Chains A and B, each alone.
Chain A
């Protein structure tokens, strides 16, 4: 294809879009509305992934150590547990470490002054060599090792139960994400094919005239494909903008999540956003191409 033809195709696309300006906005709004649902689902799973990553830092067992235990006793306890062959790794968090972590997760330093770190418990996170998230097995192991019988230990809790439930929720939403994605994808394709049919019906005279003056099939089809791709791209961009705006403007919800989960929801990553837009653009192009090809085939 020559540069001149390519230039003509682009000019025809832009002129065609300008001539049907209102219709363009209707299509973009429809796509944006549908894509918003998918974008919101993506945003939810994206944040659940982040939340899981944040929570995943804990060990298999969390051992709370009695207040008043000295630093030397902490170290002796940690060294003793580390010698057990079932234990893969153990990490000690002193009350000061716990305070620092709390400050970091809350992203604030208001606790720094005048706050007695001794109110926070010292913990020992134990990770077993054959790691498991099964609560019962962890409990059995803790009993076998008689960790709770150690003098300095106040309480033992398994650290994976909540995380496991979070994983389950994430997996459930991940399944729904694809169901919603497929539903939105099909709806977008349907909207595009209907729009292209309507568009071609309005432009049938133009198509007829173009083909009678020596325009190739590519020349007739290309503006429709570009138009479809642009509409899909603008629709998905609008959907992202809507979802991100809702996220950044609803302070009450964000604060509640931050307080409850020590987690601040984030907007979609750039990579995910670009993939979302490209996928949507591809859908628009395929739907436009299919509808336009069928229309032209019907004419022949």
Chain B
């Protein structure tokens, strides 16, 4: 899914714009990072592209959707084509991993059997096959992160946004999460990941948009490299035990 933004501007308080003249073009099946310090506008841009924040100025096109024309009625249908991994995960702690992952399919009225089958497939894929019936509250931080990713992927989105998906995770877990997300590119999923961790962008070739004070200050293609003090293969190898 192609994602384009044209001259996006956003403000929460008058005279204090959070985004100023943001334009970007993400090609289908590409891996893209948003990096930059806190308060640079990464999360706001992600929210705009997910339809959580209205477009104040400019325009954004995601696949066939014009986000400036999203309404309360059409927004849910747009979100069925997009996945979002929230920084705070937004899981329901009392619900089991399976129930959490099934939720997007429940919202579109899939049969219980289809929901379960897809949820099991994904939870096995992210290494949580033994935790299907475990309430999320009893899972570790890394396991919850993977439940959130499984839920974001369960409805086969064509555009996946992940807001700081590796925050509060150790390097090995972080690499595993990025690797898991990167695998989705094989299906043609466009990825946009915001992160503070500059080491992550070296894992796979990707487009990097650096944001500062509400503008894209730099855009470059990342170079493959290694985390300081460990090899890539070690990081990837540990990812299966995230």
Residue positions of A touching B, CB distance < 8 A: 2-8, 11-12, 19, 205-206, 208-217, 219, 300
Q: Within the assembled complex, what's the spacing in Å between the Cα atoms of A216 and B109?
A: 11
Instruction: Let me know if B106 and A8 touch, CB within 8 A.
Output: yes
Q: Which of A7, A8, A209, A216 contacts B90 (CB 8 A)?
A: A209
Q: Which of A2, A11, A12, A214 contacts B104 (CB 8 A)?
A: A214
Majority DSSP secondary structure for residues of B touching A = loop
B80 within 8 Å of A (CB atoms): yes
Q: Which of B76, B92, B94 contacts A215 (CB 8 A)?
A: B76
Q: Within the assembled complex, what's the spacing in Å between the Cα atoms of A5 and B104?
A: 12
Q: Looking at the assembled complex, report how far the CB atom of B207 sits from the nearest CB atom of chain A, in whole angstroms.
A: 25
21 A-B residue pairings within 8 Å (CB atoms): A2-B109, A4-B109, A5-B108, A7-B109, A19-B94, A206-B92, A209-B90, A209-B91, A209-B103, A210-B103, A210-B107, A212-B50, A213-B79, A213-B107, A214-B76, A214-B79, A214-B107, A214-B155, A215-B76, A216-B76, A217-B73
Instruction: Let me know if A8 and B72 touch, CB within 8 A.
Output: no
Q: Within the assembled complex, what's the spacing in Å between the Cα atoms of A296 and B102?
A: 23
B 108-121 to A, binary, CB cutoff 8 A, 1 in contact else 0: 11111000000000
Q: Within the assembled complex, what's the spacing in Å between the Cα atoms of A3 and B111?
A: 10
Instruction: Let me know if B90 and A212 touch, CB within 8 A.
Output: yes
Beta-carbon nearest neighbor of B78 in chain A: A214
Q: Looking at the assembled complex, report how far the CB atom of A175 sits from the nearest CB atom of chain B, in whole angstroms.
A: 45
Residues of B within 8 A of A205 (CB): 90, 92
- Near A by CB (< 8 A), chain B positions 191-235 give none
B158 within 8 Å of A (CB atoms): no
Instruction: Let me know if A214 and B86 touch, CB within 8 A.
Output: no
B65 within 8 Å of A (CB atoms): no
Residues of B within 8 A of A19 (CB): 94
Known A8-B106, A212-B50; further 7 A-B contacts with Cβ < 8 A: A2-B109, A4-B109, A8-B109, A210-B103, A212-B84, A214-B77, A214-B80
